[in-house]
Amino acid sequence: AQTVTQSQPEMSVQEAETVTLSCTYDTSESDYYLFWYKQPPSRQMILVIRQEAYKQQNATENRFSVNFQKAAKSFSLKISDSQLGDAAMYFCAYTGTASKLTFGTGTRLQVTL
């Protein structure tokens, strides 16, 4: 079975600074996809960024980028120029041949002035 681990329950970053959220996963599948989702307080889950395992190039979406290390089974999210609106729970998620998503336990990101 696939597992996703987020070892940082909480992180804090100052506005305009950069923060990196960690995620590791375990799988025996060769073809899979990884995602980061953002869940603001009392609001719905939003897809932040997506990475295909067969692509060596790291995905980037505006201020959000990933560091995908396939051999190490690591998939970290970097948020640059942090904004107050980035404060949320961030979930790392995996999907392989099955369509379902397997989520980590999440990292709560605080953004301070």
Partner 1 sequence: DTGVSQDPRHKITKRGQNVTFRCDPISEHNRLYWYRQTLGQGPEFLTYFQNEAQLEKSRLLSDRFSAERPKGSFSTLEIQRTEQGDSAMYLCASSPPGLAPLGQFFGPGTRLTVL
Interface residues toward partner 1, by CB under 8 A: 4, 33, 35, 37, 43-47, 50, 52, 91, 93, 95, 98-106
Give the CB-side neighbour count of residue 70, counting CA atoms within 13 A: 14
Amino acid residing at 24: T
Alpha carbon distance 32, 27 (integer Å)? 9
Specify the residue, 10 or 15, whose C-beta has the smaller distance to partner 1: 10
**End-to-end CA distance of the chain, in Å?**
41
* Nearest-approach distance from CB 22 to partner 1, in angstroms: 15
Specify the residue, 16 or 47, whose C-beta has the smaller distance to partner 1: 47
Our CA dihedral for 72, 76, 78, 82, rounded to 10 degrees, sits at -150
Classify 55 as helix, strand or coil: coil
* Nearest-approach distance from CB 47 to partner 1, in angstroms: 4
* Nearest-approach distance from CB 81 to partner 1, in angstroms: 23
Specify the residue, 64 or 103, whose C-beta has the smaller distance to partner 1: 103
Residue 98 per-residue DSSP state: S
Specify the residue, 82 or 102, whose C-beta has the smaller distance to partner 1: 102
* Nearest-approach distance from CB 15 to partner 1, in angstroms: 26
